[in-house]
């Protein structure tokens, strides 16, 4: 029987601010090299036998990031299910299981994966997953745990029950209980007992097993998700469940909604298999410091860094040169519009800071100066009262929507490439160093007419320059 991956990609990664933002969260960042953690998850699956294209569940606002990163890998999917509103992992998995039940076989085994994990040994990962599949095919729920090295209050803990032999070199355990994110003193005692694993957040079970469990323990989630799925809109590559129904759905995690209920009700069909390789959910700057190679002073330095007499620190430059002198145990993260300076290890405080930024309606919690769109990206170079300057990069063959603005005019200058411009009833080409002007209230469109990237400098002027001053008449991305 083939294995159906389900990638849950709805996280926000607030503890990795200012690099991770609401509209460009950590799973899509290239923190470990050329590919994002989402792309590494996809590539890890490609190396497995007897596996189907994944189902991806993601936030509505991340849909084009998902599509772009899939296409960069030339990767296909079974479904991309959009959550118009985040409701945690239990509703997300329910939507994926419903997708399988409507289109496939309820006995299909799902491999449920967060999109943002670092796995240190893909071959060993595949071996343990294949062992877990043996249990899942027998209507069991299989979890995967990590042997804890240090006390950590950011993870849930799984209490081990009796051991079972699955196949050669594979041992699993029954599950005696769960402790969710204990304080550090309790976490230390759990580790010393040798009877607990960290909960990795990776699961394996049949679609039918999940749907039966969520229906039994959380009927509101099951009923609302079922109705929202049945009323879903198919939009090109995307499946969009009815948002007005999802807004009524309770928020709950897989662990709280089902797994801990199995423990309470004495159900014995859940097991955990330990991972014995390097693993991280890269949920914080401390986690990144832990897994990256360090210099002789214990520093992790990424980007354009100059440091003297600095020890045991994480220094990250994304845009400008950063110079650091005489500091120890600090985290310094630089981006074009925000800089974070904190003691290393203050991960929960970063999360609180982002919450305050959101309350204050600061744009830095939500977006970078560079904003990704399905046609490419734009970067805000300068802004002031009545004006804004952007650099637009339009992908080969891509097109912005046919649109109009009520409050701003736009001036376009081609830096490189060839633009096909529509203004009113006129259409013409612009080449390097040529320019044009779009008046307020006039329909217009910008297209890349070549096989190379199109770079445009756009100068906006008007009494309101917000991104919501737009009316679309035609859009190939169905926005």
Instruction: Summarize pLDDT for 350-370 with one digit per residue, the tens.
Output: 999 999 999 999 989 998 888
**CATH 3.40.50.170 correct for 370-474:** no
Given a cut of 90, whether residue 298 has pLDDT beyond it is: yes
CATH pick for 3-277 out of 3.50.50.60, 3.30.420.610, 3.90.550.10, 3.40.1410.10 = 3.90.550.10
In this structure, how many other beta carbons lie within 10 angstroms of the beta carbon of residue 459?
Answer: 17
| pLDDT reported for residue 149 | 82
Query: Phi and psi dihedrals of 67, rounded to 5?
Result: -65, -45
pLDDT tens profile 13-41: 899 999 999 999 999 999 888 899 999 99
Given a cut of 60, whether residue 246 has pLDDT beyond it is: yes
| Averaged pLDDT, 49-54 | 91
Query: Phi and psi dihedrals of 385, rounded to 5?
Result: -65, 115
In the chain, residues under CATH classification 2.60.120.10 are 370-474
How confident is residue 152, by pLDDT bands cut at 50, 70 and 90?
confident
The tokens for 97 are 């299981």
| pLDDT reported for residue 165 | 81
pLDDT tens profile 95-118: 999 999 988 788 899 999 999 999
Helix-strand-coil percent breakdown of the chain, rounded to 5? 25, 35, 35
In the chain, residues under CATH classification 3.90.550.10 are 3-277
Q: Which residue has the higher pLDDT, 114 or 165?
A: 114
What's the mean pLDDT when you consider all of the chain?
A: 92
| pLDDT reported for residue 156 | 86
Beta bridge partners of 83: 59
118 and 37 Cβ atoms separated by less than 8 Å? yes
| pLDDT reported for residue 168 | 67
Query: Phi and psi dihedrals of 69, rounded to 5?
Result: -70, -30
How confident is residue 264, by pLDDT bands cut at 50, 70 and 90?
low
Given a cut of 80, whether residue 263 has pLDDT beyond it is: no
2 and 301 Cβ atoms separated by less than 8 Å? no
Q: What is the pTM of this model?
A: 0.88
């Amino acid at each position: 029987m083939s294995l159906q991956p389900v990638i849950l990609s709805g996280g926000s990664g607030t503890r990795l601010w200012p690099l991770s933002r609401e509209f460009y969260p950590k799973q899509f960042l290239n923190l470990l090299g050329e590919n994002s953690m989402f792309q590494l998850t996809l590539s890890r699956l490609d190396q497995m036998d007897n596996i189907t294209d994944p189902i991806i569940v993601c936030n509505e606002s991340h849909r084009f990031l998902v599509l772009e990163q899939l296409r960069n890998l030339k990767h296909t999917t079974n479904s991309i299910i959009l959550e118009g509103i985040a409701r945690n992992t239990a509703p997300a998995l329910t939507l994926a299981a419903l997708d399988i039940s409507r289109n496939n076989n309820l006995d299909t085994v799902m491999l449920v994966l967060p999109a943002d994990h670092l796995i240190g040994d893909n071959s060993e990962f595949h071996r343990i997953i294949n062992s877990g599949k043996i249990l899942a095919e027998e209507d069991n729920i299989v979890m995967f745990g990590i042997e804890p090295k240090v006390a950590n209050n950011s993870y849930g803990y799984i209490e081990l029950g009796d051991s079972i032999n699955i196949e050669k070199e594979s041992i699993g355990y029954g599950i005696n209980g769960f402790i969710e994110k204990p304080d550090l003193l309790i976490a230390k005692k759990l580790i010393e007992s040798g009877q607990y694993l960290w909960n990795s957040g990776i699961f394996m079970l049949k679609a039918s097993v999940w749907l039966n469990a969520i229906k039994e323990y959380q009927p509101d989630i099951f009923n609302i998700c079922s109705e929202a799925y049945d009323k879903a809109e198919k939009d090109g590559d995307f499946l969009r469940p009815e948002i007005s129904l999802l807004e009524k759905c309770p928020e709950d995690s897989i662990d709280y909604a089902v797994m801990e209920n199995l423990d309470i009700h004495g159900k014995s069909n859940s097991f955990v298999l330990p991972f014995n390789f390097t693993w991280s959910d890269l949920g914080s700057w401390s986690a990144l410091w832990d897994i990256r190679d360090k210099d002789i002073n214990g520093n992790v330095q990424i980007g354009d860094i100059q440091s003297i007499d600095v020890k045991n620190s994480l220094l990250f430059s994304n845009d400008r040169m950063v110079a650091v002198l005489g500091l120890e145990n600090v985290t310094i993260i630089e981006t074009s519009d925000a800089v974070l300076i904190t003691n290393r290890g203050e991960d929960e405080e970063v999360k609180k800071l982002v919450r305050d930024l959101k309350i204050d309606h600061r744009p830095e919690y939500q977006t970078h100066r560079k904003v990704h769109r399905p046609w490419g990206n734009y970067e805000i170079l300068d802004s002031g009262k009545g004006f804004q300057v952007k650099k637009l990069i339009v992908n080969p063959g891509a097109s912005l929507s046919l649109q109009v603005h009520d409050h701003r005019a736009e001036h376009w200058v081609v830096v490189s490439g060839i633009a096909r411009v529509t203004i009113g009833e006129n259409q013409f080409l612009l080449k390097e160093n040529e320019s044009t002007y779009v008046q307020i209230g006039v329909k217009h469109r910008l297209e890349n007419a070549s096989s190379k990237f199109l770079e445009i400098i756009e100068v906006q002027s008007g009494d309101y320059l917000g991104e919501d001053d737009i009316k679309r008449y035609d859009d190939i991305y169905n926005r």
